[in-house]
Amino acid sequence: MYLQRNKISYQAICDHINSKQSDFKLFKDFFTRFRSKENYYKGRSKAEKLTRIHQYTKDFRSKNENEEEHLEKQLLTLVVEANVEEFYAYANINKHPPYDEERLNLFFSTNNPAGLVIKNNLRHKKHFNWVLSTKDHGSDYKILAIEVSNKFSEYATIETNEYWKLCWINKETKTLQFVYDSINKQTYLVARNKEGSWYIKDNIYSSNLDKRRPKYISDENVVDRIEKGERANLSALKNLLESNELGLAIAFMKRTTEQTIQKPESNALKDISAEYQENLRLLNINNRSTEIFNKTNATLKYDILKLWDRIFK
């Protein structure tokens, strides 16, 4: 009625809609629907034409909103189900039947950061023969809040607030080895692959910097550092201690002294290694402060250098 009272022509409406580039997608077939087809253009009053235009654009907008709502639900479901699968993977590692890591491909690209982090976590637990304790120590997770923060044609970001408690025990001894207990904000970068399916490319979050989970040390890590000559190897050992690589320093010392070490010194080195592992374990199960952990490590560094002097005196 406003258009009729102000004598705005049908052509003026068309020109106005065409000028609104931001709305062009919404009205992309407006002209084919209402200008080229005679049944929409001829033999009808202006009011009828405007009513049909209004109904069409209303239906089109409703369809677009439904598609957007469906996409948002799809993205949120992806992150929720990915969390379920990640926890399931941790809960079943080192158990029978073995966890099938191919399941992760439903949610993650295992060649991108998010998938690689999970696969490395699983590899680490396999090496140390740890299992997740869900009964005695109550390992669990919960998504406390979740929302889609940005959507683009090929990417989206999802923000969450999550609670994770992962209590890892040694499978054989049943002793608690490591506790990850955190409530933090996480940002998921979700991407669309060539087939049009969405997957989690990256997951950005802050973790507890006080934790020092034990590292897997291969022979290659040690052999690459060994040089000819006691003085050069002592310098390499000191460098490892200065950078707080105690586990690697102990492995390096074992390898460089294996031909010359006597039984008393060998037992002393085993005791140092055991004390370091226990110091690490107590820090990681929240039974030792970082300050005490660092003081104990400082004593162990001194003991390692004293033992080196005993071996090569």
Helix, strand counts (H, E) of the chain = 11, 5
Residue 311 class from Cβ within 10 Å (0-12 exposed, 13-18 middle, 19+ buried)? middle
**How far apart, in whole angstroms, are the C-alpha atoms of residue 240 and residue 252?**
9
What is the residue-averaged pLDDT of the chain?
A: 84
Q: What distance lies between CA 252 and its chain's CA centroid?
A: 32
CA-CA distance, 262 to 267, in Å (whole number)? 9
Q: What's the rounded mean pLDDT across residues 229-245?
A: 92
Token pair listed for 98: 């073995």
Does pTM surpass 0.85? no
Q: Do you find a cis peptide bond into 97, omega within 30 degrees of 0?
A: yes
Q: Do the beta carbons of residue 46 and residue 3 sit within 8 Å?
A: yes
Higher pLDDT, 313 or 193: 193
What letters, b where the CB count within 10 A reaches 16 and e where it falls short, cover 47-72? eebbeebeebbeebeeeeeeeeeeee
Residues facing residue 146 across a β-bridge: 160
Residues, the chain: 313
Domains, the chain, ordered by start:
2-67 (no CATH), 70-205 (3.10.450.50), 219-311 (no CATH)
Query: In 3-state terms, what secondary structure has residue 148?
Result: strand
109 DSSP assignment: -
147, two tokens: 């929302």
Contacts for 55 with CB less than 8 Å, ≥ 6 apart = none
- Comparing 17-21, 131-135, 137-141, 298-302, the range with the smallest average pLDDT is 17-21
Burial 268-300 (b: 16+ CB within 10 A, else e): bbeebbeebeebbbbbbbeebeeeebeebbeeb
List the structure tokens of 130.
Answer: 């740890």
The least confident of 3-12, 126-135, 229-238 is 3-12
- In angstroms, the CA 140 to CA 166 distance is 7
**How many other CB atoms are found less than 10 A from the CB of residue 26?**
14
Mean per-residue pLDDT, 141-152? 94
Q: For 272-298, what is each residue's pLDDT tens digit?
A: 999 999 999 999 999 999 999 999 999
Non-local (6+) Cβ contacts of 226 within 8 A are 233, 236, 252, 255, 256
What are residue 5's phi and psi, to 5 degrees? -60, -35
- Reading phi first (left if > 0) and then psi (alpha if -120 to 50, else beta), residue 45 is in beta
- What is the per-residue pLDDT across 250-269, written as a single tens digit (0 to 9) for each? 999 999 998 889 999 999 99
Q: What is the pLDDT of residues 174-209, one digit of tens each?
A: 999 999 999 999 999 999 988 889 999 999 998 777
